[in-house]
């Protein structure tokens, strides 16, 4: 069976119309995929910021008024960095304030920076257990709702604060020191 010149012209124009239509659909799908990713990121950021209600600001203000405590106290301000151990290069600035709330129980108010744009704040109650003069082991955790559980374990003395944290399936480290100008 052969197709005449009219049939070839019709098929050619039909093929061009279908190809143009498919190109428009692909562009639309790419735009809608970008839009969905953007909206997902925006929603995630809003949730993180909403969940990030913490007492960091008021704890930091109170710590500034009282200054860095003398050794061997570990309460007060800390600053440093956090790093994701599963993704090299992923991390950011970290500021914390340890505030006593009971016998060996402290509130760890934290403000973390990530992606060079965002900040999130959260509070965790931790238990400090003395293991040597001036040295304490820190353990605590919290339920972060949609983000899963958060746990932190580390070592703190008057000048250094080193810990490992877990959030969902991410594990990272925190290395902090006393701020020079607080």
CA distance 138 to 153: 5
Q: What was the pLDDT predicted at 16?
A: 63
Residue 140 has pLDDT above 60, yes or no: yes
- Mean pLDDT, to the nearest integer, of 170-179? 92
Q: What was the pLDDT predicted at 173?
A: 94
Number of H helices, E strands in the chain: 2, 8
Q: What was the pLDDT predicted at 49?
A: 46
Residue 175 has pLDDT above 70, yes or no: yes
- Mean pLDDT, to the nearest integer, of 71-84? 84
**E strand or H helix at 151:** strand 149-156
CA distances from 150 to 48, 172, 181 (A): 14, 11, 30
Residue 25 has pLDDT above 80, yes or no: no
Q: Where are the beta strands (DSSP E) in 2-104?
A: 76-84, 91-102
Q: What was the pLDDT predicted at 130?
A: 93
Q: What was the pLDDT predicted at 6?
A: 52
pTM (global) more than 0.85? no
- Mean pLDDT, to the nearest integer, of 40-47? 49
- Mean pLDDT, to the nearest integer, of 172-182? 85
Report the percentage of the chain scoring pLDDT > 90.
Answer: 28
CA distances from 71 to 5, 133, 137, 155, 156 (A): 95, 11, 16, 15, 12
Q: What was the pLDDT predicted at 40?
A: 54
């Amino acid at each position: 069976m052969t197709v005449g010149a009219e049939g070839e012209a019709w098929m050619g124009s039909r093929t061009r119309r279908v190809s143009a239509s498919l190109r428009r659909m692909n562009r639309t799908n790419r735009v809608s995929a970008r839009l969905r990713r953007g909206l997902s990121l925006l929603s995630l950021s809003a949730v993180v910021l909403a969940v990030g209600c913490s007492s960091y600001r008021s704890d930091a203000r109170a710590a500034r008024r009282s200054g860095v405590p003398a050794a061997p106290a570990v309460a007060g301000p800390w600053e440093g960095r956090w790093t994701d151990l599963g993704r090299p290069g992923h991390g950011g600035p970290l500021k914390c304030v340890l505030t006593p709330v009971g016998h060996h129980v402290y509130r760890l108010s934290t403000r973390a920076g990530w992606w060079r744009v965002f900040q999130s704040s959260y509070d965790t109650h931790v238990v400090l257990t003395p293991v040597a003069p001036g040295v304490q082991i820190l353990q605590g955790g919290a339920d972060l709702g949609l983000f899963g559980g958060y746990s932190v374990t580390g070592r703190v003395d008057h000048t250094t604060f080193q810990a490992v944290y877990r959030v969902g399936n991410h594990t990272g480290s925190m290395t902090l020191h006393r701020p020079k100008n607080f």
